[in-house]
Structure 1
Amino acid sequence: MLGFNEEEYLGQVRSTIALRSQIEELAERVSAGRWKNIYFIGAGGTYAAALPYERFFQTRSDLPVRAVIGKEFVLAPDPQFGPDSVAIFASVSGTTEDILDCLEFARERGALTIGFTGYPESPIATGVDEVLLSAPKAWPFDVQFLLFAAKLLSLRGEFDGYDRLVRDLEALPEALLAVTEQADPIGQEFAQKHAQTDYHFLVGSGNLWGFTYLYSMCILEEMQWLRTTRVHAAEFFHGSLELIEKDTSLLLFVGEDETRPLMDRVISFANNYSDDVTVIDTAAYELPGVSDEFRGLLSPIVADAVVDRFSKHLAQARDHSLDLRRYYRVVEY
């Protein structure tokens, strides 16, 4: 497959699952300790990636949990954030400047700081109280976030089936490889059709809303310099639908949680008013070895595996490397 190293990919996914015992110990410490709230503090993709797990807590628990944009949080902090707080950070490189600023702020406030990255000598790895290291370049952080959230909720009696979830996650590397293989020709066809398309309209809901935000901003905009609109499915009919025309490219991300009816409504509308609708439905992808019980929780991970093939083929079809930047980490700002 184009731009795909199977051995490296499997190694990266397995490295995130291998953190389970460390994550469990950390969740047990948080559960038994003084901490009263949790903040996922991110920037760009790491903020968006935390949104499903903010939602995971908020729909199951009375424990206060927030995902926040770090730079804004430093300027306008939550008054509840302090020594009784857990601050969770993630960075692929471990060098994200915005995250480093927020980490310093969290340390000054006395919060317990936790960092997920793949580089042990990076500033984030050496700056947090607890670092959990995966393989270099391992992405996404969903497995780590999900393990931490599910274990902590299980300890609080607010999530049933943690051991069954772990068994599903153990089957995940090979399952995601199957997803990648199934998605590759679909991604190739999309890229060939849209090599000259300069605007895409993206919609998602539930635990795929964060992913929709991420793919719009961090991939199509940052890595391909494409214009996008991104909107939550529940908000689509409150203004954004007026942008849809017959030639509008829509990318609709459909998960397997309780918000699926919101996306069904968007799909119905889109198919009536556009001739260019691409539905990425995680339910359409087989996950060998994974039970049906927790498929909904895994939708962000499945969606990431699917659109990785879209991105790689788009980069080739458009002759625009995913590593090319004009401004990000290139100029002063």
Structure 2
Amino acid sequence: MLKFDEELFLKLVEKEGLAFKGQIEEIVDSICQKGYSNIFLIGAGGTIAMMYPYEYILKSNSTIDVHAEIAAEFMVMNHRHFSKNSVCIFTSVSGTTQETVAAAEFCKERGATTLALVAEPNTPLTEVVDYCITTGSEKHSFDTFFMLLYMVIFRFMHNKNEFPQYEQFIREVSLLPQAILNAVKAFDKKAEEFAIRHKDTDYHMMVGSGNLWGNTYSYAMCILEEMQWIHAKSIHAAEFFHGTLELVLEDTSVILLKGEDETRPLMDRVERFAEKITSQLTVIDTKNFEMPGISEEFRKHFSVSINWAVLSRISVYLERERNHPLELRRYYRKVEY
């Protein structure tokens, strides 16, 4: 597969990623023993998008009070639920994202408990927070972060006596890297075909819901807009029929990210509409991917990882077909703003 090292993926995500289980449990258990009032999931750009699935999971499976907040807005909004008893969780590949580091400092100064997942060691974010898991590599960092966040969030739920299936769930987390690899291989040809067909498409609608809303938001903004300079709009399936539907024409690219949680009927409704109008409908459905050994009840959670991994295959083929490196920027971290 183009730009995919299977051995490196398994090393970083399966072997090294799973090795953090004990450390994560110790951190979360320590926080729970001390006591906390709520959880804030804080990020910027791709990392706030990464938090939305876990906010959804907690809201729909737990009574833990949770808030996913954009770092820059969080620091100026005087959030009335935030206090020294809050737990604030951050992720960053580089450990240098300006807004994320500033938000971590903001929370730490006010006495809140701070925890970060960071790829690069010895960076500003690693030095600010109370607890830090450093994975040590930018390669496959999102795949690893997603897996570690499952461990973090479901440990909090377990400690609140809201998730008795925790041990089974964690055993199945260990099967996730192989499920991701299988999905990537199964989807690779379709990803290439999509990139060839849409190399000159100048606008995409991306629709998602539930625990895939974050991926929808992130892929439209961070990949299509930032990394490929393609106009894109992320639309929540629940809001699609309140405006956006009027822009769908017979040649409009509409990409549906279908998961397996409670919001799937919302996506079905959009699909029924779109397939009547446009000839450029793409449906990426996690139900189409096998997850050997993973329980039916947990598939809806793991769809976040599966979906992100297969979307990443589209990225590398778009890069090739459009001759546009994913690292190329006009402004981001290039100019003052």
In 2, distance between residues paired with 1:263 and 1:62?
A: 26
> Is 1:315–2:316 an aligned residue pair?
no
- Please tell me whether the aligned partners of residues 274 and 281 of structure 2 are also in contact (alpha carbons under 8 angstroms): yes
> Is 1:7–2:11 an aligned residue pair?
no
Shift of 1:166: 1.0
Q: Who is 2:222 aligned against?
A: 218
In 2, distance between residues paired with 1:9 and 1:134?
A: 13
- Please tell me whether the aligned partners of residues 81 and 109 of structure 1 are also in contact (alpha carbons under 8 angstroms): no
Instruction: Tell me which amino acid in the other structure corresponds to 1:89.
Output: F
For residues 164-199 of structure 1, what are the alpha-carbon distances to aligned partners after superposition, in whole Å with 9 as ceiling and x for unaligned? 111111111222111110110010000000011010
In 1, distance between residues paired with 2:247 and 2:55?
A: 30
In 2, distance between residues paired with 1:112 and 1:143?
A: 21
For residues 109-131 of structure 1, what are the alpha-carbon distances to aligned partners after superposition, in whole Å with 9 as ceiling and x for unaligned? 11111110122211111111100
For residues 187-233 of structure 1, what are the alpha-carbon distances to aligned partners after superposition, in whole Å with 9 as ceiling and x for unaligned? 00000000110100000011001110000001110000000111100
Q: Who is 2:125 aligned against?
A: 124
> Is 1:74–2:61 an aligned residue pair?
no
Q: What secondary structure is seen at the aligned counterpart in 1 of 2:83? A: coil
> Is 1:300–2:304 an aligned residue pair?
yes
Q: Who is 1:98 aligned against?
A: 99
For residues 289-321 of structure 1, what are the alpha-carbon distances to aligned partners after superposition, in whole Å with 9 as ceiling and x for unaligned? 323231100011000111111110011011101
For residues 52-74 of structure 1, what are the alpha-carbon distances to aligned partners after superposition, in whole Å with 9 as ceiling and x for unaligned? 11111111222211110000010
Shift of 1:153: 0.6
Q: Select 1:153's aligned residue among 153, 157, 178.
A: 157
Q: What secondary structure is seen at the aligned counterpart in 2 of 1:293? A: helix
Instruction: Tell me which amino acid in the other structure corresponds to 1:139.
Output: F
Q: Who is 1:23 aligned against?
A: 24
In 2, distance between residues paired with 1:11 and 1:241?
A: 44
Q: What secondary structure is seen at the aligned counterpart in 1 of 2:295? A: coil
- Please tell me whether the aligned partners of residues 121 and 136 of structure 2 are also in contact (alpha carbons under 8 angstroms): no
Q: What is the TM-score normalised by the length of structure 2?
A: 0.96
- Please tell me whether the aligned partners of residues 254 and 282 of structure 1 are also in contact (alpha carbons under 8 angstroms): yes
Q: Which moved more, 1:209-218 or 1:280-289?
A: 280-289
In 1, distance between residues paired with 2:177 and 2:55?
A: 24
In 2, distance between residues paired with 1:123 and 1:229?
A: 32
Instruction: Tell me which amino acid in the other structure corresponds to 2:32.
Output: S
- Please tell me whether the aligned partners of residues 48 and 213 of structure 1 are also in contact (alpha carbons under 8 angstroms): yes
> Is 1:250–2:251 an aligned residue pair?
no
Aligned length: 333
Q: Who is 1:186 aligned against?
A: 190
Q: What secondary structure is seen at the aligned counterpart in 1 of 2:269? A: helix
Q: What secondary structure is seen at the aligned counterpart in 2 of 1:332? A: coil
Q: What secondary structure is seen at the aligned counterpart in 2 of 1:237? A: coil
In 2, distance between residues paired with 1:295 and 1:8?
A: 25
Q: Who is 2:265 aligned against?
A: 261
Q: Which moved more, 1:37-46 or 1:7-16?
A: 7-16
Q: Who is 1:207 aligned against?
A: 211
In 1, distance between residues paired with 2:162 and 2:24?
A: 18
Q: Percent of aligned positions with the same letter in both sequences?
A: 45
RMSD: 1.1
In 1, distance between residues paired with 2:209 and 2:218?
A: 13
> Is 1:173–2:174 an aligned residue pair?
no
Shift of 1:16: 2.5
- Please tell me whether the aligned partners of residues 40 and 50 of structure 1 are also in contact (alpha carbons under 8 angstroms): yes
Give unmatched runs, 5+ long, in structure 2. none
In 2, distance between residues paired with 1:182 and 1:12?
A: 21
Q: Who is 2:238 aligned against?
A: 234
Q: Who is 1:325 aligned against?
A: 329
Q: Which moved more, 1:190-199 or 1:75-84?
A: 75-84
- Please tell me whether the aligned partners of residues 175 and 289 of structure 1 are also in contact (alpha carbons under 8 angstroms): no
Q: What secondary structure is seen at the aligned counterpart in 1 of 2:132? A: strand
Instruction: Tell me which amino acid in the other structure corresponds to 1:301.
Output: S
- Please tell me whether the aligned partners of residues 176 and 302 of structure 2 are also in contact (alpha carbons under 8 angstroms): no
Give unmatched runs, 5+ long, in structure 1. none
> Is 1:197–2:201 an aligned residue pair?
yes
Q: What secondary structure is seen at the aligned counterpart in 2 of 1:88? A: strand
Q: What secondary structure is seen at the aligned counterpart in 2 of 1:131? A: strand
Q: Who is 1:51 aligned against?
A: 52
- Please tell me whether the aligned partners of residues 70 and 99 of structure 1 are also in contact (alpha carbons under 8 angstroms): yes
In 1, distance between residues paired with 2:214 and 2:178?
A: 24
